[in-house]
Structure 1
């Protein structure tokens, strides 16, 4: 998961550098007044999103499998705890009924 996140940030950083270069060279339009920095960041985000979607498909699938496995392990652990608590509760009730 960390690898996927770092790869997404890398693609965004690359797009940010390219957009910054295009804006300051005059090939892309500048933002209005003091909004130029925000314009560059937003434009880089819009460009990097589809690039990440296409280029990181395999890595995203691997991260999804890891998350699903972790959720399954957590559910299994919760079910085991629930079963253990139910057993202890049943044993306590049985003991109280026999006393």
Structure 2
């Protein structure tokens, strides 16, 4: 796996890990009655929603460095694609 891909995979895995951790914590809080349970047996979806709401700002703060690294790599890749596109276009214009 290339270094460029590993930053994306690492960020995604860390983000998923934060979500899973939040899901387990929220499940425990609902199970012990510290957070209200979902209505009409919708506990799973309620806990899923709570985990999404809690994990999003945590990921934003905790994964800032990894997100910046991934962003830089994506910008470099897009710039290379643009350069190749412009080179191909100039070759077609010359022909």
TM-score (norm 2): 0.89
36, 39, 52: which one pairs with 1:45?
Answer: 52
Superposed structure 1 runs of 4+ greater than 4 Å apart: none
- Establish whether residue 56 from structure 1 lines up as the match of residue 63 from structure 2: yes
Which secondary structure does the structure 2 equivalent of 1:43 belong to? Answer: helix
Aligned to 2:22: 15
Q: Which runs of 5+ in 2 are unaligned?
A: 1-7
Kindly report which structure 2 residues correspond to 1:1-99, keeping only aligned pairs within 5 A, or say none: 1-88=8-95
Find the aligned partners of 2:89 and 2:18 in 1 and give their Cα distance.
Answer: 44
Select the structure of larger CA radius of gyration. Answer: 1
How big is the shift at 1:28? Answer: 1.2
TM-score (norm 1): 0.86
Aligned residues: 88
Question: CA deviation digits over 1:40-91, x for unaligned, max 9?
Answer: 0000000001110100000010011011000000000000100111111xxx
- How well do the aligned residues superpose, as a CA RMSD in angstroms? 0.7
Comparing both chains, which one has the higher relative contact order based on Cα–Cα distances under 8 Å and sequence gaps of 6 or more?
Answer: 2
Give 1 or 2: higher helix fraction: 1
